[in-house]
Amino acid sequence: MSKINDGGEAFGHGQGDWHFPGLSKRQWYAGMAMQGFMSNSHITREGFGKYFGGDSLTYKKEMTEYFFSLADAMLSYEQNGSRHRGNMA
C-alpha cells in the first residue's frame, strides 16, 4: 500500500528543540471543504442524502471520503499543475 500524499505540514510551529507539527495540508484542505459545505444552509442531510448513504454512520463516512477526495485533488493539482493552466479565463 502506498503512502498517501498529505502535502506536508500546513501550520507547523515551534523553535529549537520544540516542534508541534499541526495539521497536514491534506487535513486542512479536507476541513476547509467540509466547512464550506456545512456553511451552505441550503444543503441538509435530507437534501444531500439522495447522493450519499441512508444511515447516519454511512453518510458521515461517505462525506468524509468526499472531502478528502477534494483535498487529494488539490494536492495533485499543486504537485502536477494542469494541462489547461494557460487556457483559464
Q: Most distant CA pair in the chain: distance in Å?
A: 51
Task: Report how far residue 70's alpha carbon sits from residue 42's, in angstroms, rounded to the nearest whole number.
Answer: 20
Q: What was the pLDDT predicted at 89?
A: 39
List, in sequence order, the alpha helices (H) in the chain.
25-38, 45-48, 56-80
- pLDDT, tens digit (0-9, with 9 covering 90-100), for 19-29: 777 788 999 99
Task: Report how far residue 78's alpha carbon sits from residue 87's, in angstroms, rounded to the nearest whole number.
Answer: 17
Cβ(67)–Cβ(56) under 8 Å? Answer: no
Model pTM score: 0.67
Query: Residue with C-alpha cell 495533485?
Result: 76
Residues of the chain whose pLDDT is less than 50? 86-89
Return the bridge partners of 9, or none.
24
